[in-house]
Structure 1
Amino acid sequence: MAAFPAILQSEWTKLRTVRSTVWTLGLAFVVTLGLGALICTLANNNFADFAPKNAPFDATGTAFAGIILGEIAMVVFGVLAVGNEYSSGMIRVSLAAVPQRATLLVGKAVVIALAAFAVALATVFITFFTGQALLGGHSTTITEPHVLRAVFGAAGYLTMICLFSAGVTAMLHNQTLALGVLVPFFFLLSPILGAVPKVKTVAHYFPDYAGQRMLLVYQEHNQPFGPGAGFLICLTWTLAALAGGILVLRTRDA
Protein backbone atom coordinates (compact mmCIF):
# COMPACT_ATOMS: atom_id res chain seq x y z
CA MET A 1 0.00 0.00 0.00
CA ALA A 2 1.39 3.39 -1.04
CA ALA A 3 2.02 5.84 1.78
CA PHE A 4 -0.39 8.77 1.75
CA PRO A 5 2.36 11.45 1.79
CA ALA A 6 3.87 9.78 -1.29
CA ILE A 7 0.46 9.91 -2.98
CA LEU A 8 0.16 13.61 -2.18
CA GLN A 9 3.63 14.28 -3.57
CA SER A 10 2.83 12.36 -6.74
CA GLU A 11 -0.47 14.18 -7.24
CA TRP A 12 1.21 17.54 -6.66
CA THR A 13 3.83 16.70 -9.27
CA LYS A 14 1.13 15.73 -11.77
CA LEU A 15 -0.84 18.89 -11.06
CA ARG A 16 1.96 21.43 -11.34
CA THR A 17 3.58 19.89 -14.42
CA VAL A 18 0.45 20.13 -16.59
CA ARG A 19 0.38 23.58 -18.16
CA SER A 20 -3.38 23.68 -18.64
CA THR A 21 -4.08 23.41 -14.91
CA VAL A 22 -1.50 26.05 -14.00
CA TRP A 23 -2.81 28.47 -16.63
CA THR A 24 -6.39 27.89 -15.52
CA LEU A 25 -5.57 28.87 -11.94
CA GLY A 26 -3.80 31.96 -13.23
CA LEU A 27 -6.83 32.81 -15.33
CA ALA A 28 -9.08 32.54 -12.27
CA PHE A 29 -6.96 35.20 -10.57
CA VAL A 30 -6.84 37.53 -13.57
CA VAL A 31 -10.53 37.49 -14.49
CA THR A 32 -11.75 37.80 -10.89
CA LEU A 33 -9.45 40.73 -10.19
CA GLY A 34 -9.93 42.36 -13.59
CA LEU A 35 -13.73 42.33 -13.66
CA GLY A 36 -13.95 43.30 -10.00
CA ALA A 37 -11.66 46.29 -10.58
CA LEU A 38 -13.67 47.35 -13.62
CA ILE A 39 -17.00 47.19 -11.78
CA CYS A 40 -15.59 49.08 -8.79
CA THR A 41 -14.29 51.81 -11.07
CA LEU A 42 -17.67 52.12 -12.77
CA ALA A 43 -19.46 52.09 -9.41
CA ASN A 44 -17.28 54.89 -8.06
CA ASN A 45 -17.78 57.03 -11.15
CA ASN A 46 -21.53 56.33 -11.42
CA PHE A 47 -22.47 55.69 -7.82
CA ALA A 48 -26.07 56.87 -8.15
CA ASP A 49 -26.70 54.08 -10.67
CA PHE A 50 -25.07 51.39 -8.53
CA ALA A 51 -26.34 52.32 -5.06
CA PRO A 52 -29.45 50.33 -4.05
CA LYS A 53 -32.54 52.32 -3.14
CA ASN A 54 -33.57 50.74 0.16
CA ALA A 55 -30.46 48.85 1.26
CA PRO A 56 -26.85 49.65 2.18
CA PHE A 57 -24.28 49.64 -0.60
CA ASP A 58 -22.31 46.37 -0.53
CA ALA A 59 -18.74 47.43 -1.29
CA THR A 60 -17.48 43.90 -0.68
CA GLY A 61 -19.95 42.32 -3.09
CA THR A 62 -19.10 44.96 -5.70
CA ALA A 63 -15.41 44.08 -5.48
CA PHE A 64 -16.32 40.42 -5.96
CA ALA A 65 -18.38 41.02 -9.10
CA GLY A 66 -15.76 39.04 -11.02
CA ILE A 67 -16.32 35.90 -8.96
CA ILE A 68 -18.69 34.59 -11.65
CA LEU A 69 -15.81 34.47 -14.16
CA GLY A 70 -13.41 33.12 -11.57
CA GLU A 71 -15.95 30.38 -10.89
CA ILE A 72 -15.82 29.31 -14.55
CA ALA A 73 -12.05 29.03 -14.37
CA MET A 74 -12.23 27.05 -11.13
CA VAL A 75 -14.76 24.65 -12.66
CA VAL A 76 -12.41 24.09 -15.59
CA PHE A 77 -9.46 23.61 -13.22
CA GLY A 78 -11.32 20.98 -11.21
CA VAL A 79 -12.30 19.15 -14.39
CA LEU A 80 -8.81 19.23 -15.88
CA ALA A 81 -7.11 18.22 -12.64
CA VAL A 82 -9.01 14.91 -12.73
CA GLY A 83 -9.90 14.54 -16.40
CA ASN A 84 -6.39 14.91 -17.83
CA GLU A 85 -5.46 11.48 -16.49
CA TYR A 86 -8.44 9.87 -18.18
CA SER A 87 -7.88 11.60 -21.53
CA SER A 88 -4.19 10.66 -21.57
CA GLY A 89 -4.66 7.13 -20.20
CA MET A 90 -2.35 7.88 -17.27
CA ILE A 91 -5.09 6.85 -14.84
CA ARG A 92 -4.13 3.21 -15.47
CA VAL A 93 -0.57 3.94 -14.39
CA SER A 94 -1.82 5.75 -11.29
CA LEU A 95 -4.08 2.84 -10.34
CA ALA A 96 -1.26 0.37 -10.87
CA ALA A 97 0.90 2.41 -8.48
CA VAL A 98 -1.95 2.98 -6.00
CA PRO A 99 -4.47 0.12 -6.17
CA GLN A 100 -6.44 1.64 -3.29
CA ARG A 101 -8.74 3.68 -5.51
CA ALA A 102 -10.49 5.61 -2.76
CA THR A 103 -7.13 6.60 -1.27
CA LEU A 104 -5.94 7.76 -4.69
CA LEU A 105 -8.95 10.01 -5.25
CA VAL A 106 -8.82 11.38 -1.71
CA GLY A 107 -5.16 12.27 -2.22
CA LYS A 108 -5.98 13.94 -5.51
CA ALA A 109 -8.83 15.87 -3.89
CA VAL A 110 -6.58 17.07 -1.06
CA VAL A 111 -3.98 18.40 -3.51
CA ILE A 112 -6.64 20.04 -5.69
CA ALA A 113 -8.24 21.63 -2.62
CA LEU A 114 -4.95 23.02 -1.31
CA ALA A 115 -3.97 24.46 -4.70
CA ALA A 116 -7.42 25.90 -5.35
CA PHE A 117 -7.74 27.39 -1.87
CA ALA A 118 -4.27 28.96 -1.98
CA VAL A 119 -5.00 30.66 -5.29
CA ALA A 120 -8.56 31.56 -4.28
CA LEU A 121 -7.41 33.09 -0.99
CA ALA A 122 -4.76 35.23 -2.68
CA THR A 123 -7.25 36.18 -5.38
CA VAL A 124 -10.04 37.32 -3.06
CA PHE A 125 -7.80 39.31 -0.73
CA ILE A 126 -6.05 41.13 -3.59
CA THR A 127 -9.39 41.66 -5.33
CA PHE A 128 -10.98 43.00 -2.15
CA PHE A 129 -8.26 45.54 -1.37
CA THR A 130 -7.96 46.60 -5.01
CA GLY A 131 -11.71 47.05 -5.24
CA GLN A 132 -11.89 49.13 -2.07
CA ALA A 133 -9.09 51.39 -3.31
CA LEU A 134 -11.00 51.97 -6.55
CA LEU A 135 -14.30 52.63 -4.75
CA GLY A 136 -12.80 55.64 -3.00
CA GLY A 137 -15.23 57.17 -0.51
CA HIS A 138 -17.75 54.37 -1.04
CA SER A 139 -15.38 51.65 0.16
CA THR A 140 -15.44 49.52 3.27
CA THR A 141 -12.70 48.00 5.43
CA ILE A 142 -11.76 44.46 6.33
CA THR A 143 -12.59 45.17 9.98
CA GLU A 144 -16.23 46.06 9.33
CA PRO A 145 -18.78 43.49 10.60
CA HIS A 146 -19.03 40.35 8.43
CA VAL A 147 -16.56 41.62 5.80
CA LEU A 148 -13.67 39.31 6.72
CA ARG A 149 -16.09 36.39 6.89
CA ALA A 150 -17.34 37.24 3.38
CA VAL A 151 -13.78 37.39 2.04
CA PHE A 152 -12.93 33.97 3.43
CA GLY A 153 -16.35 32.79 2.25
CA ALA A 154 -15.47 33.79 -1.31
CA ALA A 155 -12.28 31.72 -1.14
CA GLY A 156 -14.14 28.77 0.35
CA TYR A 157 -16.86 29.00 -2.30
CA LEU A 158 -14.39 28.92 -5.20
CA THR A 159 -12.58 25.98 -3.61
CA MET A 160 -15.75 23.94 -3.08
CA ILE A 161 -17.00 24.60 -6.62
CA CYS A 162 -13.63 23.35 -7.88
CA LEU A 163 -13.84 20.18 -5.77
CA PHE A 164 -17.44 19.60 -6.80
CA SER A 165 -16.34 19.76 -10.44
CA ALA A 166 -13.49 17.35 -9.74
CA GLY A 167 -15.93 14.89 -8.14
CA VAL A 168 -18.31 15.07 -11.09
CA THR A 169 -15.41 14.44 -13.47
CA ALA A 170 -14.35 11.42 -11.45
CA MET A 171 -17.88 10.06 -11.80
CA LEU A 172 -18.07 10.67 -15.55
CA HIS A 173 -14.47 9.63 -16.38
CA ASN A 174 -14.43 12.17 -19.21
CA GLN A 175 -13.45 15.82 -19.03
CA THR A 176 -15.36 16.86 -22.16
CA LEU A 177 -18.54 15.27 -20.85
CA ALA A 178 -17.98 16.81 -17.41
CA LEU A 179 -17.65 20.31 -18.89
CA GLY A 180 -20.72 19.62 -21.02
CA VAL A 181 -22.67 18.92 -17.84
CA LEU A 182 -21.20 21.46 -15.43
CA VAL A 183 -21.12 24.59 -17.59
CA PRO A 184 -24.81 24.40 -18.61
CA PHE A 185 -25.75 23.44 -15.03
CA PHE A 186 -24.05 26.42 -13.42
CA PHE A 187 -24.51 29.06 -16.09
CA LEU A 188 -27.79 28.12 -17.81
CA LEU A 189 -29.95 25.76 -15.74
CA SER A 190 -29.35 27.32 -12.33
CA PRO A 191 -29.96 30.97 -13.41
CA ILE A 192 -33.00 30.02 -15.49
CA LEU A 193 -34.63 28.01 -12.70
CA GLY A 194 -33.76 30.75 -10.23
CA ALA A 195 -35.79 33.21 -12.30
CA VAL A 196 -38.93 31.03 -12.53
CA PRO A 197 -41.21 31.70 -9.54
CA LYS A 198 -42.68 28.21 -9.22
CA VAL A 199 -39.34 26.39 -9.19
CA LYS A 200 -36.86 28.97 -7.93
CA THR A 201 -36.99 27.43 -4.45
CA VAL A 202 -35.32 24.34 -5.89
CA ALA A 203 -32.56 26.44 -7.46
CA HIS A 204 -31.87 28.01 -4.05
CA TYR A 205 -30.41 24.68 -2.96
CA PHE A 206 -28.06 24.29 -5.91
CA PRO A 207 -24.37 24.52 -4.95
CA ASP A 208 -23.70 27.77 -6.79
CA TYR A 209 -26.63 29.73 -5.33
CA ALA A 210 -26.09 28.35 -1.84
CA GLY A 211 -22.33 28.92 -1.98
CA GLN A 212 -22.72 32.51 -3.09
CA ARG A 213 -24.62 33.24 0.13
CA MET A 214 -21.20 32.92 1.80
CA LEU A 215 -20.21 36.20 0.14
CA LEU A 216 -23.06 38.17 1.74
CA VAL A 217 -22.17 40.99 4.10
CA TYR A 218 -25.75 42.15 4.53
CA GLN A 219 -28.58 39.68 4.98
CA GLU A 220 -31.31 40.59 2.49
CA HIS A 221 -34.96 40.13 3.44
CA ASN A 222 -35.78 38.08 0.35
CA GLN A 223 -32.92 35.61 0.82
CA PRO A 224 -34.06 32.12 1.94
CA PHE A 225 -30.99 31.54 4.13
CA GLY A 226 -27.74 33.10 5.18
CA PRO A 227 -24.03 32.40 4.81
CA GLY A 228 -23.88 29.57 7.37
CA ALA A 229 -26.62 27.52 5.75
CA GLY A 230 -25.18 28.33 2.33
CA PHE A 231 -21.83 26.92 3.40
CA LEU A 232 -23.38 23.69 4.66
CA ILE A 233 -25.45 23.18 1.50
CA CYS A 234 -22.49 23.82 -0.78
CA LEU A 235 -20.28 21.56 1.35
CA THR A 236 -22.87 18.78 1.16
CA TRP A 237 -22.92 18.97 -2.64
CA THR A 238 -19.13 18.91 -2.72
CA LEU A 239 -18.79 15.90 -0.43
CA ALA A 240 -21.55 14.07 -2.31
CA ALA A 241 -19.77 14.62 -5.64
CA LEU A 242 -16.47 13.36 -4.23
CA ALA A 243 -18.17 10.37 -2.62
CA GLY A 244 -19.83 9.61 -5.95
CA GLY A 245 -16.45 9.81 -7.66
CA ILE A 246 -14.97 7.35 -5.18
CA LEU A 247 -17.88 4.95 -5.62
CA VAL A 248 -17.65 5.01 -9.41
CA LEU A 249 -13.87 4.67 -9.36
CA ARG A 250 -14.12 1.63 -7.08
CA THR A 251 -16.80 -0.12 -9.12
CA ARG A 252 -15.91 0.81 -12.70
CA ASP A 253 -12.82 0.08 -14.77
CA ALA A 254 -10.65 3.03 -15.66
Structure 2
Amino acid sequence: MGATAVTAAALPTVPVLHSEWIKIRSARAVLGSLVAVFAATAGVTVLTAAGTSEPGAMGEDRLLGAFFGINFGQIAAISFGATAFAGEFRSGALRVSLTAVPNRTRLYLSKAAAVAGLAFVVGQVTGLVTFVAGQAFMGDDALSLGDPGTVRAVFGSGAYLTLIALLSAGLTALVRSGTLVMSLLIPFLLIVPFVVGQVVGGAMQFMPDRAGQMVMRAQADGALGPWSGLAVAGLWALAALAAGWLAVRRRDA
Protein backbone atom coordinates (compact mmCIF):
# COMPACT_ATOMS: atom_id res chain seq x y z
CA MET A 1 0.00 0.00 0.00
CA GLY A 2 2.82 2.37 0.90
CA ALA A 3 4.70 1.68 -2.35
CA THR A 4 1.50 2.19 -4.32
CA ALA A 5 0.89 5.54 -2.63
CA VAL A 6 4.46 6.68 -3.36
CA THR A 7 4.13 5.66 -7.00
CA ALA A 8 0.78 7.44 -7.38
CA ALA A 9 2.22 10.58 -5.81
CA ALA A 10 4.86 10.72 -8.55
CA LEU A 11 2.58 10.14 -11.54
CA PRO A 12 1.84 13.02 -13.93
CA THR A 13 -1.30 15.03 -13.32
CA VAL A 14 -3.36 17.07 -15.76
CA PRO A 15 -2.21 20.48 -14.41
CA VAL A 16 1.47 19.49 -14.65
CA LEU A 17 1.01 18.07 -18.14
CA HIS A 18 -0.77 21.27 -19.15
CA SER A 19 2.12 23.35 -17.84
CA GLU A 20 4.57 21.26 -19.86
CA TRP A 21 2.47 21.82 -22.98
CA ILE A 22 2.57 25.57 -22.33
CA LYS A 23 6.35 25.42 -22.06
CA ILE A 24 6.63 23.63 -25.39
CA ARG A 25 4.10 25.90 -27.11
CA SER A 26 5.80 29.05 -25.88
CA ALA A 27 9.31 27.98 -26.90
CA ARG A 28 9.66 28.61 -30.62
CA ALA A 29 12.70 26.39 -31.04
CA VAL A 30 10.93 23.44 -29.42
CA LEU A 31 7.69 23.89 -31.34
CA GLY A 32 9.62 24.55 -34.55
CA SER A 33 11.56 21.30 -34.23
CA LEU A 34 8.30 19.41 -33.74
CA VAL A 35 6.86 20.93 -36.92
CA ALA A 36 10.14 20.10 -38.67
CA VAL A 37 9.60 16.40 -37.92
CA PHE A 38 6.62 16.49 -40.29
CA ALA A 39 8.13 18.88 -42.82
CA ALA A 40 11.43 17.02 -43.17
CA THR A 41 10.01 13.51 -43.30
CA ALA A 42 7.10 14.17 -45.61
CA GLY A 43 8.80 16.90 -47.63
CA VAL A 44 11.97 14.99 -48.45
CA THR A 45 10.01 11.84 -49.29
CA VAL A 46 7.61 13.63 -51.63
CA LEU A 47 10.34 15.66 -53.34
CA THR A 48 12.45 12.53 -53.88
CA ALA A 49 9.51 10.51 -55.16
CA ALA A 50 8.48 13.32 -57.51
CA GLY A 51 12.00 13.68 -58.86
CA THR A 52 12.74 10.05 -59.64
CA SER A 53 11.37 7.75 -62.30
CA GLU A 54 13.54 4.68 -61.71
CA PRO A 55 12.23 1.74 -59.67
CA GLY A 56 14.42 1.18 -56.62
CA ALA A 57 15.78 4.71 -56.62
CA MET A 58 14.48 5.13 -53.07
CA GLY A 59 16.02 1.88 -51.87
CA GLU A 60 15.81 -1.84 -52.53
CA ASP A 61 13.04 -2.25 -49.97
CA ARG A 62 10.04 -0.49 -51.49
CA LEU A 63 8.20 -0.23 -48.18
CA LEU A 64 11.14 1.33 -46.38
CA GLY A 65 11.66 3.59 -49.38
CA ALA A 66 8.13 4.92 -48.91
CA PHE A 67 9.52 6.60 -45.77
CA PHE A 68 12.70 7.85 -47.42
CA GLY A 69 12.61 11.13 -45.49
CA ILE A 70 12.60 9.43 -42.09
CA ASN A 71 16.38 9.82 -41.88
CA PHE A 72 15.91 13.57 -42.07
CA GLY A 73 12.84 13.61 -39.85
CA GLN A 74 14.71 11.81 -37.09
CA ILE A 75 17.16 14.73 -36.93
CA ALA A 76 14.21 17.00 -36.16
CA ALA A 77 12.95 14.44 -33.61
CA ILE A 78 16.34 14.52 -31.89
CA SER A 79 16.17 18.31 -31.83
CA PHE A 80 12.65 18.25 -30.41
CA GLY A 81 13.52 15.89 -27.56
CA ALA A 82 16.72 17.76 -26.74
CA THR A 83 15.31 21.29 -26.82
CA ALA A 84 12.19 20.29 -24.88
CA PHE A 85 14.37 19.17 -21.96
CA ALA A 86 17.32 21.52 -22.33
CA GLY A 87 15.33 24.57 -21.27
CA GLU A 88 15.15 23.23 -17.71
CA PHE A 89 18.91 23.40 -17.35
CA ARG A 90 19.42 27.00 -18.39
CA SER A 91 19.48 30.00 -16.05
CA GLY A 92 18.10 28.14 -13.04
CA ALA A 93 14.85 27.17 -14.78
CA LEU A 94 14.83 23.81 -13.02
CA ARG A 95 14.65 25.49 -9.63
CA VAL A 96 11.60 27.43 -10.75
CA SER A 97 9.96 24.24 -12.07
CA LEU A 98 10.69 22.42 -8.81
CA THR A 99 9.11 25.25 -6.86
CA ALA A 100 5.88 24.63 -8.77
CA VAL A 101 6.28 20.82 -8.82
CA PRO A 102 8.50 19.76 -5.89
CA ASN A 103 8.30 16.06 -6.76
CA ARG A 104 11.17 15.57 -9.19
CA THR A 105 9.88 12.27 -10.48
CA ARG A 106 6.47 13.76 -11.26
CA LEU A 107 8.09 16.70 -13.03
CA TYR A 108 10.36 14.41 -15.05
CA LEU A 109 7.62 11.93 -15.99
CA SER A 110 5.28 14.76 -16.95
CA LYS A 111 7.88 16.30 -19.22
CA ALA A 112 8.65 12.92 -20.79
CA ALA A 113 4.93 12.21 -21.24
CA ALA A 114 4.40 15.58 -22.95
CA VAL A 115 7.28 14.91 -25.33
CA ALA A 116 6.08 11.37 -26.02
CA GLY A 117 2.46 12.38 -26.58
CA LEU A 118 3.22 15.24 -28.94
CA ALA A 119 5.87 13.28 -30.83
CA PHE A 120 3.52 10.32 -31.21
CA VAL A 121 0.63 12.37 -32.58
CA VAL A 122 2.86 14.28 -34.99
CA GLY A 123 4.66 11.05 -35.88
CA GLN A 124 1.45 9.24 -36.79
CA VAL A 125 0.22 12.12 -38.94
CA THR A 126 3.65 12.34 -40.51
CA GLY A 127 3.78 8.63 -41.28
CA LEU A 128 0.38 8.60 -42.96
CA VAL A 129 0.93 11.78 -45.00
CA THR A 130 4.44 10.70 -45.98
CA PHE A 131 3.24 7.36 -47.29
CA VAL A 132 0.12 8.56 -49.10
CA ALA A 133 1.71 11.67 -50.65
CA GLY A 134 4.93 9.92 -51.61
CA GLN A 135 3.21 6.96 -53.26
CA ALA A 136 1.06 9.32 -55.31
CA PHE A 137 4.17 9.98 -57.43
CA MET A 138 5.26 6.35 -57.81
CA GLY A 139 2.91 5.39 -60.66
CA ASP A 140 2.73 1.65 -61.31
CA ASP A 141 5.26 1.01 -58.53
CA ALA A 142 3.07 2.64 -55.88
CA LEU A 143 2.10 0.77 -52.74
CA SER A 144 -1.33 1.08 -51.15
CA LEU A 145 -2.51 0.98 -47.56
CA GLY A 146 -3.94 -2.46 -48.26
CA ASP A 147 -0.60 -4.01 -49.16
CA PRO A 148 1.03 -6.36 -46.63
CA GLY A 149 2.96 -4.56 -43.92
CA THR A 150 1.89 -1.07 -44.95
CA VAL A 151 -0.29 -0.19 -41.97
CA ARG A 152 2.35 -1.59 -39.65
CA ALA A 153 5.00 0.56 -41.33
CA VAL A 154 2.87 3.71 -41.13
CA PHE A 155 2.21 3.20 -37.43
CA GLY A 156 5.78 2.11 -36.80
CA SER A 157 7.28 5.16 -38.48
CA GLY A 158 5.47 7.42 -36.01
CA ALA A 159 6.41 5.19 -33.08
CA TYR A 160 10.04 5.21 -34.23
CA LEU A 161 10.17 9.02 -34.35
CA THR A 162 8.66 9.11 -30.86
CA LEU A 163 11.33 6.77 -29.50
CA ILE A 164 14.11 8.83 -31.07
CA ALA A 165 12.70 11.98 -29.45
CA LEU A 166 12.57 10.22 -26.06
CA LEU A 167 16.11 8.89 -26.48
CA SER A 168 17.29 12.43 -27.08
CA ALA A 169 15.24 13.78 -24.17
CA GLY A 170 16.64 11.26 -21.72
CA LEU A 171 20.23 11.92 -22.77
CA THR A 172 19.66 15.67 -22.44
CA ALA A 173 18.45 15.20 -18.87
CA LEU A 174 21.54 13.10 -18.21
CA VAL A 175 24.16 15.55 -19.52
CA ARG A 176 22.13 18.77 -19.08
CA SER A 177 22.95 20.03 -22.54
CA GLY A 178 20.76 19.80 -25.61
CA THR A 179 23.56 21.10 -27.82
CA LEU A 180 25.91 18.34 -26.65
CA VAL A 181 23.29 15.66 -27.21
CA MET A 182 22.50 16.85 -30.72
CA SER A 183 26.18 17.16 -31.64
CA LEU A 184 26.79 13.57 -30.53
CA LEU A 185 23.54 11.76 -31.28
CA ILE A 186 22.98 13.03 -34.82
CA PRO A 187 26.39 11.85 -36.09
CA PHE A 188 25.96 8.64 -34.09
CA LEU A 189 22.73 7.80 -35.91
CA LEU A 190 23.60 9.12 -39.35
CA ILE A 191 27.33 8.60 -39.81
CA VAL A 192 28.63 5.89 -37.48
CA PRO A 193 26.53 3.05 -38.97
CA PHE A 194 27.98 3.70 -42.42
CA VAL A 195 31.56 4.11 -41.16
CA VAL A 196 31.83 1.12 -38.84
CA GLY A 197 29.01 -1.07 -40.11
CA GLN A 198 31.31 -3.38 -42.04
CA VAL A 199 33.76 -3.60 -39.15
CA VAL A 200 31.42 -4.69 -36.38
CA GLY A 201 29.17 -6.72 -38.63
CA GLY A 202 25.85 -7.81 -37.22
CA ALA A 203 26.14 -5.74 -34.05
CA MET A 204 25.03 -2.65 -35.95
CA GLN A 205 21.52 -4.07 -36.35
CA PHE A 206 21.01 -3.45 -32.63
CA MET A 207 21.70 0.26 -32.90
CA PRO A 208 18.56 2.33 -32.24
CA ASP A 209 18.14 3.57 -35.80
CA ARG A 210 18.80 0.29 -37.59
CA ALA A 211 16.66 -1.67 -35.14
CA GLY A 212 13.81 0.83 -35.02
CA GLN A 213 13.54 1.15 -38.78
CA MET A 214 12.98 -2.59 -39.13
CA VAL A 215 9.29 -1.90 -38.51
CA MET A 216 9.20 -0.07 -41.84
CA ARG A 217 10.78 -2.88 -43.84
CA ALA A 218 8.86 -5.33 -46.00
CA GLN A 219 11.45 -8.05 -45.40
CA ALA A 220 13.49 -8.80 -42.27
CA ASP A 221 17.16 -7.91 -42.54
CA GLY A 222 19.17 -9.77 -39.91
CA ALA A 223 18.13 -11.26 -36.58
CA LEU A 224 15.46 -8.69 -35.79
CA GLY A 225 11.93 -8.58 -37.10
CA PRO A 226 9.67 -5.52 -37.36
CA TRP A 227 8.36 -5.53 -33.80
CA SER A 228 11.47 -6.91 -32.11
CA GLY A 229 13.50 -4.19 -33.84
CA LEU A 230 11.13 -1.50 -32.60
CA ALA A 231 11.37 -3.06 -29.13
CA VAL A 232 15.16 -2.75 -29.23
CA ALA A 233 14.82 0.94 -30.10
CA GLY A 234 12.37 1.22 -27.22
CA LEU A 235 14.95 -0.27 -24.84
CA TRP A 236 17.47 2.36 -25.95
CA ALA A 237 14.94 5.11 -25.22
CA LEU A 238 13.97 3.55 -21.89
CA ALA A 239 17.60 3.27 -20.81
CA ALA A 240 18.23 6.92 -21.70
CA LEU A 241 15.11 8.05 -19.83
CA ALA A 242 16.08 6.01 -16.78
CA ALA A 243 19.57 7.51 -16.77
CA GLY A 244 18.11 11.00 -17.14
CA TRP A 245 15.68 10.38 -14.27
CA LEU A 246 18.50 9.27 -11.95
CA ALA A 247 20.49 12.36 -12.88
CA VAL A 248 17.56 14.71 -12.21
CA ARG A 249 16.83 13.07 -8.86
CA ARG A 250 20.41 13.07 -7.58
CA ARG A 251 21.86 16.34 -8.84
CA ASP A 252 21.32 19.77 -7.39
CA ALA A 253 18.97 22.05 -9.28
2:192 to 162, 178, 189: 189
Deviation at residue 111 of structure 1 after TM alignment: 0.5
Given the superposition, is the C-alpha separation of residues 130 and 14 from structure 1 closer, same or farther in structure 2, using an over 3 Å criterion? same
Which residue is equivalent to 2:225?
Answer: 226
Question: 1:209 is matched by which residue type in structure 2?
Answer: R
Give me the whole-angstrom Cα distance separating, in 1, the residues matched to 2:242 and 2:140: 47
**Equivalences for 1:97-112 in 2 at 5 Å?**
97-112=100-115
Amino acid paired to 1:245: G
After superposition, the Cα gap between the structure-2 partners of 1:49 and 1:164, relative to the gap in structure 1 and judged at 3 Å, is closer
How many angstroms apart in 1 are the aligned matches of 2:239 and 2:69?
Answer: 27
Task: Give the secondary structure class of the aligned counterpart of 1:134.
Answer: coil
TM-score (norm 1): 0.90
CA distance in 1, matches of 2:123, 2:58: 26
Q: Which amino acid aligns with 2:30?
A: T
1:1-254 map, 5 Å: 4-43=13-52, 45-47=53-55, 52=60, 58=62, 60-196=63-199, 199-220=200-221, 223-254=222-253
Distance 2:191 2:36 in 1: 22
1:7-38 per-residue CA deviation (whole Å, 9 max, x = no partner) reads 11111111111111111111121111121112
* Residue identity opposite 2:87 in structure 1: N
Q: By how many angstroms is 1:47 displaced?
A: 2.6
Partners of 1:50 and 1:75 lie apart in 2 by 23
| Whole-Å separation in 1 of the counterparts to 2:41 and 2:185 | 19
Out of 142-151 and 25-34, give the one that drifted further.
25-34
Q: Percent identity?
A: 38
Per-residue displacement from partner, 1:204-230 (whole Å, max 9, x unpaired)? 21111110111112234xx22111110
* Counterpart AA for 2:224: F
Q: Check whether the contact 1:39–1:62 (CA below 8 A) recurs between aligned residues.
A: no
Structure 2 stretches lacking a partner, 5+ long: 1-8
Tell me the alpha carbon deviations over residues 177-213 of structure 1, each in whole angstroms, 9 at most, x when there is no partner: 22222122212223322232xx132222111111011
State the distance in 1 between where 2:30 and 2:93 align.
16
* Matched-pair contact (CA < 8 Å) for 2:58–2:65: no
Letter in 2 for 1:205: F
**Contact map agreement 2:153 2:217 (CA 8 A) in 1:** yes
* Structure 1 position 249, deviation (Å): 0.6
Separation of aligned partners in 2, 1:4 and 1:94: 15
Contact 2:215/2:225 (8 A) holds in 1 = yes
SS in structure 2 of the partner of residue 47 of structure 1: coil
Mapped partners of 2:233, 2:56: distance in 1: 34
CA–CA distance in structure 1, aligned partners of residues 35 and 132 of structure 2: 19
1:13 & 1:191 partners in 2: Cα distance?
A: 39
CA RMSD of aligned residues (A): 1.8
* Mapped partners of 2:170, 2:83: distance in 1: 11
SS for the counterpart of 2:69 is: helix
In the other structure, the counterpart of 2:5 is none
Give 3-state SS (helix, strand or coil) of 1:65's partner.
coil
SS of corresponding position for 1:165: helix
Q: TM-score, normalised by structure 2?
A: 0.90
Equivalent residues, number: 244
Q: Is the 8 A contact 2:46 2:130 kept in 1?
A: yes
Counterpart amino acid of residue 34 in structure 1: G
